[in-house]
Chain A
Amino acid sequence: MNTLKVKIWRGTETGEFQSYEVPRLESQTVLDVVTYVQRRLDPSLAYRFACRVGVCGSCAMSVNGVSRWTCRTHVSKVAQDGSLEIAPLRNLPVIRDLATDMSEFFDKWAKARGQFTGSKTRKDDFAAVNPESKERKRVDAAIECIGCGVCYSSCEVVTWKPDYLGPAALSRAWTLVNDVRDVAQKERLAAVAGDAGCHACHTHLNCTERCPKGISPTAGIAGLKRAILSATLKGEM
Chain B
Amino acid sequence: MVHRVSGVALTLFLPLHFWALGNALHGEAKLENFLRWSDQPLVKCAEFVLVLLLAAHMAGGLRLLMLEFMDWHSVGDLQKTLLAGAAGASLVVGLLFLLNLL
Residues of A in contact with B (beta carbons under 8 Å apart): 137, 141, 203, 205, 208, 214, 216, 218-219, 222-223, 225-226
0/1 string, B49-73, CB within 8 A of A gives 1? 0000000000000001001110111
- Distance from B67 Cβ to chain A, minimum over Cβ atoms (Å): 5
Contact yes or no, B79 A219, CB < 8 A: no
The contact size tier of chain B is 10 to 19
- Interface presence of B40 (CB below 8 A): no
Contact yes or no, B71 A208, CB < 8 A: no
Contact yes or no, B75 A218, CB < 8 A: yes
CB<8 Å pairs between A and B, sample of 20: A141-B73, A203-B67, A203-B68, A205-B67, A205-B75, A205-B79, A208-B75, A208-B79, A216-B72, A216-B74, A216-B75, A218-B67, A218-B75, A219-B72, A219-B75, A222-B67, A222-B68, A225-B68, A226-B68, A226-B69
Which of A137, A222, A223 has its CB near the most chain B CB atoms (within 10 A)?
A: A222
Give chain A residues whose Cβ lies under 8 Å from the Cβ of B71.
Answer: 223
Give chain B residues whose Cβ lies under 8 Å from the Cβ of A218.
Answer: 67, 75
Separation of A222 and B68 alpha carbons in the complex (Å):
5
Name B64's closest neighbour in chain A (CB-CB).
A203
Q: A137-B73, A222-B68 are in contact. List 6 more A-B contacts (CB 8 A).
A: A203-B68, A208-B75, A208-B79, A216-B72, A216-B73, A216-B74
- Distance from B6 Cβ to chain A, minimum over Cβ atoms (Å): 15
Separation of A218 and B67 alpha carbons in the complex (Å):
8
Name A141's closest neighbour in chain B (CB-CB).
B73
Separation of A54 and B56 alpha carbons in the complex (Å):
41
Separation of A223 and B68 alpha carbons in the complex (Å):
7
Separation of A205 and B69 alpha carbons in the complex (Å):
15
Separation of A137 and B73 alpha carbons in the complex (Å):
9
Do A219 and B69 contact each other (CB < 8 Å), given the known contacts A203-B64, A205-B79?
Answer: no
Give chain A residues whose Cβ lies under 8 Å from the Cβ of B72.
Answer: 216, 219
Separation of A226 and B74 alpha carbons in the complex (Å):
18
4 smallest CB-CB distances across A and B, nearest first, come from A222-B68, A203-B67, A205-B79, A208-B75
Which of B68, B69, B72, B74 has its CB near the most chain A CB atoms (within 10 A)?
A: B68
Contact yes or no, B64 A219, CB < 8 A: no
Name B74's closest neighbour in chain A (CB-CB).
A216
Name A205's closest neighbour in chain B (CB-CB).
B79
Give chain A residues whose Cβ lies under 8 Å from the Cβ of B67.
Answer: 203, 205, 218, 222
